[in-house]
Structure 1
């Protein structure tokens, strides 16, 4: 639950209408309704439904000549909301909702999310691509032909094939992760991170170093096995 949706929940509990909540927080009406359904918003008992908020009209004083030809609001050709309208035209509601929630997150937190997604994929690959020993062989049927003549095609992956594939894939994934970490470190260096954000990076770097050490050890064992 984002900070924006938490504040919106309090507004709803106090009796504010959907469209007023949407206008206040700069999100669509569908997003507000989605928040209510997902997080189970409820109004406080006895809370009055607030009257619709009408912002005070602004403009130049009566008779002022500077406003001639301008009906108020943003200047002609102003690009306000053009981007949002463009996405609203082409993206599905679910994607719009995600995009609107991401707008409340700081760039360093979005980068950290990407780091966590990449790191999670690396850890998961350890389980999926694990090679038990040098006798770990995979035999899989990859093609079958029927009709007058029948035939099958099988693919055999020996332990050293699977291990080599795993090491190459992990090296590429680790390079991507380390590049993301460098970007995060740069944000910390220029003062865009607080103490908590800095500490979580230090912890992650220690874990990544341990994975790299393990990968190097496995690569040495792999080479030794081939030459036994």
Structure 2
């Protein structure tokens, strides 16, 4: 059973945030009576730099649909109020879709939410790959054209107006690759193992983040998500193998 996180862990974070993220870690450590290396470790493991600022009370929560279709007092199209203040915004593509995605993520998603979406996308790709890479039986062979060489040849063509020379493309060399069933199956098993390792790692990271955060900062939804993900992936892994 994992140990309960130290109360000083959350207290250190609160002190740092209250200082506007400017107080030195050494000073926080001295205030709490712990080592500076311990505070540095908490800052790294808990990803303090990724914790969003407290959102404005005037905005609706992420995914809230109360204002769907609202024509009221929102910012005009093309407004970059929420977009331009991001550190990397100026390097992103300058199109409306990118701006909307960036603004939604920056304003409404926590680090846990982002990691959860990443896990969902990875799991979706894993399931989809089962159909694409499926090997029917030992005779399931794929023939793939790797290289093709062609040249122009002249040919005399007779018409009502007389004869003329026309040029045609003729394939003079082709190189094919045969993917046998056992080769495809080996690639499938290798890719499955790699995908499952990546998924498991992300879920462990998600679980560790939940455990390391104070209970009041973690919603019941996050805990239920974790349990469901572990069960779904365990079932999918058993089916895949």
Task: State the TM-score bracket (shorter-chain normalisation).
Answer: 0.5 to 0.7
Instruction: State the distance in 1 between where 2:139 and 2:75 align.
Output: 63
| 2:94 aligns with one of 83, 92, 95 | 92
Greater strand content: 2
Runs (5+) with no aligned partner, structure 1:
23-27, 33-80, 217-228
Runs (5+) with no aligned partner, structure 2:
1-59, 153-170
Quick check: 1:102 aligned with 2:152?
no
Q: How does 1:106-117 map to 2 (within 5 A)?
A: 106-117=110-121
Higher relative contact order (CA 8 A, sep 6+): 2
- 1:72 matched to which residue of 2? none
Distance 1:182 1:90, change over 3 A: closer
Asked whether the equivalents of residues 88 and 96 of structure 1 are also in contact (C-alpha less than 8 Å), the reply is no
Q: 1:170 Cα deviation (Å)?
A: 1.2
Query: Which 4+ runs in 1 deviate beyond 6 A?
Result: none
Q: 1:196 Cα deviation (Å)?
A: 2.1
Instruction: State the distance in 1 between where 2:141 and 2:225 align.
Output: 39
Q: 1:126 Cα deviation (Å)?
A: 0.3
Encode CA deviations 1:34-75: one digit per residue, 9 max, x unaligned: xxxxxxxxxxxxxxxxxxxxxxxxxxxxxxxxxxxxxxxxxx
Instruction: State the distance in 2 between where 1:30 and 1:133 align.
Output: 55
Distance 1:181 1:89, change over 3 A: closer
Tell which deviates more after alignment, 85-94 or 147-156. 85-94
Asked whether the equivalents of residues 62 and 109 of structure 2 are also in contact (C-alpha less than 8 Å), the reply is no
- 1:222 matched to which residue of 2? none
Asked whether the equivalents of residues 137 and 159 of structure 1 are also in contact (C-alpha less than 8 Å), the reply is yes
- 2:186 matched to which residue of 1? 164
Q: 1:135 Cα deviation (Å)?
A: 1.3
Greater helix content: 1
- 2:139 matched to which residue of 1? 135
| 2:175 aligns with one of 153, 162, 166 | 153
- 1:41 matched to which residue of 2? none
3-state DSSP of counterpart to 1:143: strand
Distance 1:4 1:188, change over 3 A: closer
Q: 1:199 Cα deviation (Å)?
A: 1.5
Encode CA deviations 1:112-152: one digit per residue, 9 max, x unaligned: 00000000000000000000111111112221111278111
- 2:67 matched to which residue of 1? 9
Asked whether the equivalents of residues 122 and 170 of structure 1 are also in contact (C-alpha less than 8 Å), the reply is yes
How many residue pairs match? The answer is 159
Asked whether the equivalents of residues 210 and 218 of structure 2 are also in contact (C-alpha less than 8 Å), the reply is yes
